[in-house]
Every structure is written in C-alpha cells, then in structure tokens.
C-alpha cells in the first residue's frame, strides 16, 4: 500500500534516528494491520519514521525507530535481546548513494513495497524520494520485517531488518561440550557499541 503522508517533510538526518523497544503506540499517519500465522502485526508510519506492534499468544512486542527528541538510545548496527519467550534481533545500515542511484533505488523500493500485500509505504509531500517503507512476512516460524527510510537531501537510505521468533532452549550438553557455552543472542542480550550515525 502506498500513501502520501499528510505532513510536511522536515530536514531530518539518518544520524537522528533512535531505536526503542516497548514504547506505547505513537500517533500514526498511516497503518496496516496484518495477520501472519496467528500473529497480529501492525505497521505504523510516523511523522518521524516507523513503529511496529506485534501481538501473539505468547506476548507482545513494540519496536520504534524514529527521530525522538530526548531519546538516549541511538540506532544500533545490531542488537539481540530476549523479549518474553521470544528472541528479538535487529540490524540497521546506512547507504550513501549517488544522485542517479538514489532516485533509481527509491523508485525500486516504492514499487516493491506498494505492490506487496504486506507492504506499507508513505511519501512525504514536496519530495517524491522522501519516504518511509515497511514490508513484513512470516517465515520459518518467525515474524520478520524490513524498513527503509530515505533522506534525499543527503542521498542516504537507512535499511533495517528485524526478526522475532520463539526462543528454542539449548540442548543439554555433556561435560566439555562446546554446546555448554552460551551464545550471544540466545542466552545473553548483546548490543553493538557502534551506532549507525558513526559509520561515517
């Protein structure tokens, strides 16, 4: 689904994006409600980027990536956390493109997302290449979504990937077995120390 967002485009930067888990629903300019194999997912386009709300019988999860004044958690390159009975994994990257490449990539992504039954894209008035796009799917027992945030003034494209799935207990391991060692993202929360805005 493609929509024009009823708000003016502000000159934000990729480095201003922040990440948060567990926030309450923020005012949305457009939403898309999905049912993915027993999981209820709501994709939300905000004036300052995106929010995803996931509800399933095991619990709920809220992801927010936006320019949030006063936020203390910058956008990480990668993070893995436990959320109730789930494993939550998030990754982000920034592409800086040439003028021609940026326009072509923007058109390609908007066409992909707007034509997908699980896609939601919003274009800001005044710039056809200023947009936020989201695409969700259920695969191998996990709910996954991807997002793209375009900043034409800097020719930057921020891409994120998220997957949420049921945590599988590690098998019991005998003495000396490598399986007895904990793995990042399963038994321990891990957070990268580098933020997206520091990539250069």
pLDDT for 145 equals: 96
Residues 30 and 5 sit within 8 Å (Cβ to Cβ): yes
Q: What is the mean pLDDT of residues 106-110?
A: 92
- Tell me, yes or no, whether 161 lies in a domain: yes
What CA–CA distances, in Å, run from 128 to 146, 150, 151? 20, 10, 11
Ramachandran bin of 186, using left for φ above 0, alpha for ψ from -120 to 50, beta for the remaining angles: alpha
Domain that holds residue 18: 2-166
For residues 125 and 160, give the distance between their C-alpha atoms in angstroms, rounded to a whole number.
Answer: 23
- Tell me, yes or no, whether 179 lies in a domain: no
pLDDT for 134 equals: 96
pLDDT for 64 equals: 93
pTM: 0.79
Mean pLDDT of all residues in the chain? 80
- Tell me, yes or no, whether 143 lies in a domain: yes
| pLDDT tens digit sequence for 118-153 | 999 998 887 778 899 999 999 888 899 999 999 988
| pLDDT tens digit sequence for 62-98 | 999 988 776 656 788 899 998 878 899 999 999 999 9
Extract the tokens encoding 88.
């939550």
**pLDDT score of 160 more than 80:** yes
- Tell me, yes or no, whether 187 lies in a domain: no
Q: Specify the number of domains making up the chain.
A: 1
**pLDDT score of 7 more than 90:** no
- Tell me, yes or no, whether 197 lies in a domain: no
pLDDT for 92 equals: 95
Give the strand order in the sheet containing 30-36. Answer: 18-21, 59-66, 49-56, 39-46, 30-36
- Tell me, yes or no, whether 184 lies in a domain: no
- Tell me, yes or no, whether 174 lies in a domain: no
- Residue 104's H or E segment, with its range, is helix 99-114
- Tell me, yes or no, whether 188 lies in a domain: no
């Amino acid at each position: 689904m493609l929509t024009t967002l009823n708000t003016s485009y502000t000159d934000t930067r990729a480095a201003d994006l922040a990440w948060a888990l567990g926030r309450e629903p923020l005012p949305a300019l457009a939403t898309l409600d999905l049912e993915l194999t027993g999981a209820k997912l709501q994709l939300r386009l905000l004036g300052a980027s995106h929010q995803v709300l996931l509800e399933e019988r095991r619990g709920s999860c809220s992801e927010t990536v936006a320019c949030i004044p006063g936020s203390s958690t910058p956008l990480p390159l990668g993070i893995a956390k436990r959320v109730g009975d789930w494993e939550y994994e998030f990754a982000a990257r920034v592409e800086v493109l040439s003028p021609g490449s940026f326009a072509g990539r923007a058109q390609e992504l908007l066409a992909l997302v707007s034509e997908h039954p699980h896609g939601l894209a919003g274009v800001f008035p005044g710039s056809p290449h200023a947009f936020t796009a989201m695409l969700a799917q259920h695969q191998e027992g996990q709910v996954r979504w991807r997002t793209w945030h375009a900043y034409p003034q800097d020719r930057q494209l921020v891409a994120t990937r998220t997957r949420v799935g049921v945590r599988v207990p590690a098998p019991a391991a005998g003495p000396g077995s490598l399986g007895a060692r904990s793995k990042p993202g399963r038994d321990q929360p891990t957070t990268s120390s580098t933020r997206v805005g520091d990539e250069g």
